[in-house]
Amino acid sequence: MVVPEQPRDDEVRELLRAARAGDARAFGELVQRFMRSIYAVAYRLMGNHDDADDIAQETFVRAHAALARYDENYSFYTWLRTIATRLGLNEIEKRRRRQTSGGETFESAAETVHAAAPDPAEELAGEELRAALESALRALPAEYRAVLALRTFEDLSYEDIARVLEIPIGTVMSRLSRARGLMRAALRAERGGALESPRKRTP
C-alpha cells in the first residue's frame, strides 16, 4: 500500500485556520486531503478495510472536536496519525479483553527466532513478497505491529514512536526487535511453502 504524498504545509495552515474559525467546508477539504494517508495508517494496524475505515472516520471526528486544542507548531498529519494509532490500539485492546477462545498465538509459534534479525522489509522484492509482508504484519500481536508499522512504513524515529504510543524508548526498541524477528519467521515460512509446493505435486 503506497502512502499518498502529503499536502503542502502552507495550504494546510490556511485550511486549519478557516476550520478553527468555523468553516465546515475547510475542514471537509482537510478530510479529503488526509483521509487516504490516515486510512493507510489504520489499515497497517487493523489489517482489514472495514476496521481501517472506521478508525479513519473516527480520527477525523475526534480531530474536529479537538481543533481548538491543536498546536500549529506541530504537523497536522502527525497529530492525525497519533489519534488514529491510539484509536486503533484501543480498539484492539478492547477486542482482546472480549476474546474468550484460546489457541497458540503467532508470537509463541515463532518464539525461537532471534530478536535482533534485520528488518525483513529490506529483503522484499516484487509484489508477491510485498503481499507476504502485509500478511505477516497483520498476524503480529498489536503491540509489535504498531511499532513496526510506524518505523517501517511511517519512517518515525524511536523518539517519535515512543511519543505516539506513550511508551519508553527502550520498550520501542525491544518491541521493534521482536517484531522484526517474528516477521522474519513468517516470511521464511511463506517462502518455504512456496518452494515446497511444486515438489509436493511431483509424483
Give per-residue pLDDT as tens, 142-199: 889 999 999 988 899 999 999 999 999 999 999 999 999 988 888 787 666 544 444 4
Burial class (CB in 10 A: 0-12, 13-18, 19+), 36: middle
Q: Domain 106-200 is of which CATH architecture? A: Orthogonal Bundle (1.10)
Burial class (CB in 10 A: 0-12, 13-18, 19+), 76: buried
pLDDT digits (tens, 9 = 90+) for 15-42: 999 999 999 999 999 999 999 999 999 9
Q: Where in the chain is the domain with CATH 1.10.1740.10?
A: 9-98
Q: Where in the chain is the domain with CATH 1.10.10.10?
A: 106-200
Note if the pTM is more than 0.75: no
CATH number of 9-98: 1.10.1740.10
